[in-house]
């Protein structure tokens, strides 16, 4: 009896492992991709409900704790808002003047790209894949491979790109994901390279294939190069934390710490349309 | 059947919790305990290899779908974990905290090794060994220390449900 149940267990194990292995082996086929999308469309409402319930409890206790600070913060925020409104007005004036001058000398001015604001509602439940789920999908005009940015500490920075879209949700692959590749360049020297994610090994990214002649220092800013056609040019990615230059070879590498803090990410901006590119943004007047 | 439902509820709660941003708050050096793994192992330990591997497969499959990664990766890993722990549960006499701590420590290392091997085959060539870094041992310690607490909670609830 015990022997037969052991055989049964082994047969069940073999069948389950075979099914898993088959899924892994055929992961890039259309059938499997479609199956994943459908399965996720079914699972998402449950995940969203569960996550929202837990977030509700968390927010409830947080609001009790923060209640006494709210009045003071509100007054300070109102003051700050008035200041920002004044600054915004001045900025609009300067921008108009800038456009007028650029038109005078015949150079096309930089236009903004259209974005959709999305709220971060969940993330992948494992440390291996740190994908982010947002509450905007096809219904909001989101498509696969659209670039995603966020504003943190007053700066616009790269978050990642959309890799999967459902009707009311989308999944974002962060820029430090192992499967992510991005055209990048050093902001000051303009040397370009290929940015590769290293998660879960490291939270930093690796900037590869930088020309050996590039003079790179700790703290140098890295921005998108616009190559690859996904991200517009000039969006902040992060800062250099270390440089690796071998004694041979024509390239060097740098470790880049992403500017975006994924732990504090609450809202993202999905770029739905790039109106135009500014090919002359690096000309200084 | 009631026991199975209790485990399903706990696993669902763990998956939801690990999907929230609240999960990041309990991490140390970007490493957080894997509650899903702990509960699957406890379930397998208490019920045996048959239920353990089926529960592991279903849980891993759901995690694969929600992760958006390689479908079958965690299904494969958790199936092996469920079967292995179920076998150990059948052979070990007595179920105390020290056993669960040791088991969860070993299982976390094993999970990392299996994922590392599968990543080397299906994701990136040469990825093998990347998972066996310092972060894995920190996760193993966290899982080991949390397991007795969860073990106590689950067994108490199970007993109440059975009564």
C-beta atoms of B34 and A126 within 8 A: yes
* pLDDT band, residue A243 (cuts 50/70/90): very high
Number of helical H runs and strand E runs in chain B: 7, 0
Q: What average pLDDT does this structure show over A224-249?
A: 87
Residue B66 has its nearest CB partner, among A23, A24, A47, at A47
pLDDT band at A158 (very low <50, low <70, confident <90, very high): very high
Q: Which pTM does this prediction carry?
A: 0.66
Residue B146 scores a pLDDT above 80: yes
CB pairs under 8 A between A and B: 149
Q: Decide if pLDDT at A134 tops 60.
A: yes
pLDDT at A16: 92
Sequence ranges of chain A with CATH classification 2.40.10.350? 112-274
To the nearest whole Å, the CA of A22 is away from the closest chain B CA by: 8
The hierarchical CATH code for the domain A112-274 is: 2.40.10.350
Interface touch B16/A55, C-beta < 8 Å:
no
* pLDDT of the residue at A160: 93
Of B62, B74, B135, the CB nearest to A43: B62
* Contacting residues of B for A24, CB less than 8 Å apart: 70-73, 76, 118, 122
CA distance A259 to chain B (A): 16
When CB atoms are compared, the residue of B14, B69, B79 closest to A16 is: B79
Q: Which residue of A has its CA nearest to B31?
A: A127
Distance from CA of A58 to the nearest CA of B (A): 8
> Nearest by CB to A55, which of B13, B20, B122?
B20
A243-263 average pLDDT score: 88
Q: Is the pLDDT of residue A283 over 50?
A: no
Q: Tell me the residues of chain A between 25 and 54 that have a Cβ less than 8 Å away from chain B.
A: 25, 27, 32, 35-36, 39-40, 43, 47, 50-51, 53-54
Q: Is B26 helix (H, G, I), strand (E, B) or coil?
A: coil
Q: What is the ipTM of this complex?
A: 0.84
Higher pLDDT, A154 or A194: A194
pLDDT at A280: 37
pLDDT at A37: 75
Residue B19 to residue A53, Cβ atoms within 8 A:
no
Q: What is the mean pLDDT of residues A250-259?
A: 92
Residues in chain B: 163
pLDDT interval class at B81 (50, 70, 90): very high
- pLDDT higher than threshold 80 for residue A17: yes
Q: pLDDT above 70 covers what percent of chain A?
A: 88
Assess whether pLDDT exceeds 60 at residue A279: no
Cβ-nearest to B74 among A12, A19, A126: A126
Highest mean pLDDT among A87-91, A223-227, A237-241, B6-10: A237-241
Question: For A77-108, how does the pLDDT look when each residue is reduced to its tens digit (9 = 90+)?
Answer: 888 888 888 888 888 888 887 876 666 554 44
Which residues 205-244 of A are in CB contact (within 8 Å) with B? none
Instruction: Give the lowest-confidence range in A51-65, A225-239, A257-271.
Output: A51-65
pLDDT digits (tens, 9 = 90+) for A47-80: 777 777 777 777 777 777 777 678 778 888 888 8
Nearest-Cα distance to chain A for B22, in Å, is: 8
């Amino acid at each position: 009896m015990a022997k037969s149940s052991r055989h049964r267990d082994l047969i069940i194990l073999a069948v389950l492992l075979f099914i898993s292995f088959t899924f892994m082996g055929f992961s890039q086929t259309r059938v499997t991709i479609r199956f994943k999308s459908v399965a996720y469309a079914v699972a998402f409402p449950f995940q969203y409900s569960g996550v929202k319930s837990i977030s509700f409890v968390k927010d409830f206790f947080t609001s009790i704790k923060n209640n006494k600070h709210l009045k003071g913060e509100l007054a300070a925020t109102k003051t700050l808002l008035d200041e920002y409104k004044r600054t915004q007005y001045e900025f609009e004036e300067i921008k108009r003047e800038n456009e007028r001058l650029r038109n005078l000398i015949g150079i096309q001015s930089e236009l903004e790209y259209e974005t959709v604001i999305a709220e971060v509602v969940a993330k992948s439940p494992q440390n291996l894949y740190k994908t982010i789920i947002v509450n905007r999908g096809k219904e909001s005009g989101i498509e696969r491979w659209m670039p995603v940015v966020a504003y943190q500490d007053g700066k616009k920075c790269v978050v990642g790109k959309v890799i999967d879209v459902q009707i009311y949700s989308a999944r974002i692959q962060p820029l430090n994901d192992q499967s992510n590749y991005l055209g990048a360049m050093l902001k000051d020297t303009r040397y370009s390279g290929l940015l590769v994610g290293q998660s879960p090994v490291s939270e930093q990214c690796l900037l590869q294939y930088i020309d050996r002649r590039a003079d790179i220092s700790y703290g140098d800013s890295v921005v998108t190069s616009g190559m690859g056609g996904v991200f517009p040019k000039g969006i902040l990615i992060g800062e250099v934390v270390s440089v690796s230059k071998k004694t041979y070879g024509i390239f060097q590498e740098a470790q880049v710490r992403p500017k975006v803090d994924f732990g504090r990410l609450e809202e993202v901006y999905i770029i739905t349309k790039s109106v135009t590119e500014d090919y002359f943004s690096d000309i200084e007047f | 059947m009631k026991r199975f439902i209790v485990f399903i509820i706990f696993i669902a709660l763990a998956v939801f919790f690990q999907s929230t941003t609240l999960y990041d708050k309990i991490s140390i050096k970007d490493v957080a305990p894997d509650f899903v793994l702990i509960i699957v192992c406890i379930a397998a330990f208490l019920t045996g290899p048959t239920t353990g591997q089926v529960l592991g497969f279903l849980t891993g499959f759901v995690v694969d779908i929600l992760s958006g990664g390689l479908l079958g990766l965690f299904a494969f890993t958790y199936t092996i974990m469920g079967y292995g722990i179920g076998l150990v549960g059948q052979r070990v006499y007595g179920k105390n905290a020290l056993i669960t701590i040791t088991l969860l420590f070993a299982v976390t290392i094993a999970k990392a090794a299996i994922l590392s091997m599968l990543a080397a085959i299906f994701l990136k060539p040469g990825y093998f060994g990347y998972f066996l870094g310092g972060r894995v041992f920190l996760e193993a310690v966290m899982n080991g220390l949390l397991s007795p607490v969860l073990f106590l909670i689950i067994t108490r609830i199970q007993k109440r449900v059975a009564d």
